Amino acid sequence: MDFSIKAFDTKNTIAAAKSGCIAVAVFENKKLSQEAKALDKGGEITAALKSGDLSGKAGSTLLLRDVSGAAASRVLLVGMGSDDAVSEKSFASAVGATLKAFASLGCQDAIIALPLADVKERDAAWAMRTIVIAAHESVFRTDTQKSKKDPAPAGVHKITLAAAANTESKTALAQATAIANGMNLTKELGNLSANVCTPTYLANTAKKLAKEFKFEVEVLERKQLEALKMGSFLSVTNGSEEPPKFIVLKHMGGKAKDAPVVLVGKGITFDTGGISIKAGPGMDEMKYDMCGAASVLGTFRAIGEMGLKLNVIGIVAACENMPSGRATKPGDIVTSMNGLTIEVLNTDAEGRLILCDALTYAERFNPAAVVDIATLTGACIVALGHHNSGLFTRTDAAHEKLAAELLDAGQNASDTAWRLPIGELYNEQLKSNFADLANIGTPGGASCTAAAFLENFTRKYTWAHLDIAGTAWKSGGAKGATGRPVPLLATFLINRT
């Protein structure tokens, strides 16, 4: 999907614009947007509203042909709801309906002239991002591994946004496109079957990104991990034939002495649960247990395309969690990279075992902040459903600031998170008679105890944990990776420049 920006004024009028279709807004009180008024010289739009053919309700549409006041072949009237306060939901509904209508048209180009700057508590940049991401989602394909590909989508492929063609708008469009492309990569990686998207595949993807966007990249192999004494991470890899990969990407777009932001992604490319094996139904979806890693790679694709002026380091700990005669057993005690011993009471709580060593490794970068991203606990879905990612941080001033940054970025990107607690009370649940701590807590607050476990390995820097178990993919008929939380992460990083 190709996007461009064009400003329309008294000399270069929207009525004179030649296009396959122009989408303009109408409202529930039969009021026309300024762009709709400009096309209504012959009264066809007003007549359509008076006839009751279009209610103006958000998401309703009506296609008109040969409108006398428009040089375009078609005019798409798009309901925007109340004109008093166009809500975020109303705008998103209108955008979705517009793109759905565009998909059935016999033209390839169109203009979207919706009120980008009139959404309550949002700006034109947010509106552009909403349109661009929705448009990419509408043409996203899941047929990568099909022997016969789905038919190429018909309809509009080139969209012009009616907006001021200034630096701000051009930057907003470029950022929106980069974020959408990053989400596409994250979805593609998540949707691939686990026999294809192995730890090695993730490492090769990182190398391709490094080549394309001039990142630095390093992939640590088992012997190097053993030398680093990553006993916790390696304990998860024991049952698998697939070699583990520890991937480090560096985007050094800021000043040489600036401390980097570090993103750490959980990359379990398939999670059987290990010896604590999962139930069979739905286990196929455990290919999505690497969506934290995929979101780090997708975010790097976005910031690489943007040329973001910030130092960012990505760490991906990638392996499989499989049962075998070599696999870690419940009750085994392993030693993490920072020296803490861990009693593995449940081998299906493996994400925290690989992340804790990755979080210790992050210390060497003297980071400004570290954010880990993981499909960590089913309990997070129980708590928050599929709407919000779970956010966990400490409560001192530096961590309150980081939490606010992430929550604000999620709100601005429509990729929301909700803060949940950690603290010593949850650490009490992780006590072990035989090791420094256990990898699962006593019953209750499982998302919080998982985050509290990770917190033990982050005491030397400012840190936040995002549990994306409920937001990284969808089940059922719409099964597939969502690309979240790439918008949140990319917006967070943009805001730090």
Catalytic residues: 278, 352
Q: Looking at residue 225, what DSSP letter applies?
A: H
Which is nearest to 242 in space by CA: 270, 218, 214? 270
282: number of Cβ within 10 Å = 9
HEC states along 73-88?
A: CEEEEEECCCCCCECH
Q: Which three-class secondary structure state does DSSP give residue 64?
A: strand
Tokens 């993807």, located at residue: 205
8 A C-beta contact, residue 333 and residue 435:
yes
Distance, CA of 174 to CA of 132 (rounded, Å): 10
Joined tokens for residue 472: 């990284």
- Tell how far CA 364 is from the center of its chain: 27
Distance, CA of 305 to CA of 355 (rounded, Å): 27
251's CB contacts (< 8 A; 6+ apart) are 213, 215, 300, 303, 304, 308, 310, 311, 312, 313, 314
Which is nearest to 248 in space by CA: 209, 286, 212? 209
Strand 245-252 and strand 216-220: the pairing is antiparallel
Strand 61-65 and strand 332-335: the pairing is unpaired
8 A C-beta contact, residue 430 and residue 449:
yes
- Tell how far CA 69 is from the center of its chain: 41
65: number of Cβ within 10 Å = 11
Angle subtended at Cα 259 by Cα 258 and Cα 265, rounded to the nearest 5 degrees: 135
382's CB contacts (< 8 A; 6+ apart) are none
HEC states along 92-150?
A: HHHHHHHHHHHHCCCCCEEEEECCCCCECCCCHHHHHHHHHHHHHHHHCCCCCCCCCCC
Q: Looking at residue 283, what DSSP letter applies?
A: G
433's CB contacts (< 8 A; 6+ apart) are none
